[in-house]
């Protein structure tokens, strides 16, 4: 007879709600492109008329001026018109190209459809957590405390690492759609030379976002490749728990640093080092310690409320607080 608790475990493993939310959000963002298409096209057409009219007037006023600058302006305007009319497809192709290159570089055989399923990455971390914890079966907590602590630490780190990686991919997929939608609004201003600066940075942001997804896809591909190479039944021989612990710390650090690394690649300013993950870990540990201290203080203050209020400051004979002598602090008065 199948126990009833297995239904709860199946519900916990069901990640369809996360994927459904992601698909719904991306679908609404795609719908937003169609809703503002008319407004963006109106701005684009107005700027095209202004830009081409000014370029034609300047060419006509110069008399025998060559037609090459005017023809170049027409081609430039046509390029931006093509970008605006097909922006959603172009931005999606750029993003998918970055993700596909990252998966190919990782070499795990992970597909784009699986990358757009961040819950699968989190489930892999949960399964690896269970396999790591199985190494502690049959051990005594008193005689094998250090080994059990290492196994527990490795399992927790690997679980957090895969969860953070899945969360980063989830957020990046949503952020790209939002950024592409914002860039779609700013793109028509690149037609006119006086407002071309407004469209330069959105175009660069799309390229930077593709590089960011490339790095996250590479990390996810490498992580799943490592998990697939692990034996189904893990043992403590040859430092099994320590290897998993090191792997989890590496994935956790790369998940945090991948977005910053992509920004540095675009800016050409390397500044990341091994100290930054350590600083992030110390900051997290400090926050946890601060929360624990605050909770302890609140608990102690609630528990100590039975002391009578009149007894505050009235300890034993030797515990009374000395009263300051204000008369001795006054400066001596001068005689007239």
Domain total for the chain? 1
> Is residue 120 within 8 Å of 101, Cβ to Cβ?
no
State the CB neighbour count (10 A cutoff) for residue 15.
17
Pairwise pLDDT comparison (184 vs 134), residue with the higher score: 184
CA–CA dist 161, 249 (Å, integer)? 7
The model's confidence at residue 12, banded by pLDDT at 50, 70 and 90, is very low
- The distance between the two most distant Cα atoms of the chain, rounded to a whole number of Å, is 108
> Is residue 252 within 8 Å of 161, Cβ to Cβ?
yes
Q: Is 333 part of a structural domain of the chain?
A: no
> Is residue 210 within 8 Å of 94, Cβ to Cβ?
yes
Pairwise pLDDT comparison (200 vs 9), residue with the higher score: 200
Pairwise pLDDT comparison (192 vs 272), residue with the higher score: 192
Is 245 exposed, middle or buried (CB count within 10 Å of its CB: 0-12, 13-18, 19+)?
buried
> Is residue 162 within 8 Å of 254, Cβ to Cβ?
no
Q: What angle do CA 244, 102, 107 make, to 5 degrees?
A: 60
Q: Is 189 part of a structural domain of the chain?
A: yes
CA-closest candidate to residue 114, choices 221, 25, 210: 221
The pLDDT of residue 105 is: 87
CA–CA dist 189, 198 (Å, integer)? 6
The pLDDT of residue 5 is: 38
Question: What are the tens digits of pLDDT across the range 278-336?
Answer: 555 555 455 545 545 555 555 555 454 444 444 444 444 444 566 666 566 666 665 55
The model's confidence at residue 243, banded by pLDDT at 50, 70 and 90, is confident
Q: Is 41 part of a structural domain of the chain?
A: yes
Cα-Cα end-to-end distance for the chain: 107
DSSP letters, 244-276, are HHHHHHHHHHHHHHHHHHHHHHHHT-----THH
Q: What angle do CA 216, 156, 12 make, to 5 degrees?
A: 80
pTM greater than 0.75 (yes/no):
no
Lowest-confidence range among 184-188, 250-254, 283-287?
A: 283-287
Q: Is 298 part of a structural domain of the chain?
A: no
Q: Is 61 part of a structural domain of the chain?
A: yes
Q: Is 103 part of a structural domain of the chain?
A: yes
The pLDDT of residue 320 is: 54
The pLDDT of residue 322 is: 62
CA-closest candidate to residue 241, choices 155, 130, 118: 155
pLDDT above 70 (res 1): no
Alpha helices by DSSP H, listed for 86-196, are 87-106, 112-115, 118-133, 145-186
Domain that holds residue 88: 14-278
Q: Is 56 part of a structural domain of the chain?
A: yes
Q: Is 93 part of a structural domain of the chain?
A: yes
What is the average per-residue pLDDT within 116-129? Answer: 84
């Amino acid at each position: 007879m199948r126990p009833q608790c297995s239904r709860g475990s199946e519900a916990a493993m069901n990640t369809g709600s996360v994927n459904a939310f992601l698909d719904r959000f991306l679908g609404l963002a795609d719908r937003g492109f169609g809703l503002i298409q008319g407004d963006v096209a109106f701005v684009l057409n107005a700027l095209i008329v202004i830009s081409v009219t000014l370029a034609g007037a300047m060419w006509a006023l110069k008399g025998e001026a060559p037609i090459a600058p005017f023809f170049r302006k027409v081609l430039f305007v046509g390029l931006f018109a093509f970008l605006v009319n097909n922006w959603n497809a172009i931005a999606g192709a750029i993003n998918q190209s970055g993700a596909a290159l990252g998966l190919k570089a990782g070499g795990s055989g992970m597909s784009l459809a699986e990358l757009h399923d961040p819950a699968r990455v989190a489930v892999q971390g949960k399964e690896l957590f269970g396999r790591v914890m199985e190494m502690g079966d049959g051990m005594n907590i008193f005689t094998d405390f250090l080994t059990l602590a290492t196994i527990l630490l490795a399992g927790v780190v690997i679980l957090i690492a895969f969860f953070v990686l899945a969360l980063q991919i989830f957020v990046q997929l949503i952020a790209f759609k939002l950024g592409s939608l914002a860039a779609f609004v700013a793109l028509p201003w690149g037609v006119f030379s006086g407002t071309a600066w407004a469209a330069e940075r959105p175009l660069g942001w799309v390229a930077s976002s593709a590089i960011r997804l490339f790095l996250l896809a590479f990390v996810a591909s490498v992580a799943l490749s490592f998990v697939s190479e692990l034996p189904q039944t893990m043992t403590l021989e040859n430092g099994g728990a320590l290897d998993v612990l090191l792997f989890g710390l590496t994935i956790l650090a790369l998940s945090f640093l991948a977005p910053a690394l992509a920004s540095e690649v675009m800016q050409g300013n390397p500044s990341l080092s091994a100290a930054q993950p350590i600083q992030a870990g110390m900051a997290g540990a400090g926050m946890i310690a601060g929360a624990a201290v605050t909770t302890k203080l609140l608990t102690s203050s609630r528990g100590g409320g039975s002391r009578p209020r009149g007894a505050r400051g009235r300890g034993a004979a030797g515990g009374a607080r000395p009263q300051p002598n204000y008369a001795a602090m006054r400066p001596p008065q001068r005689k007239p």
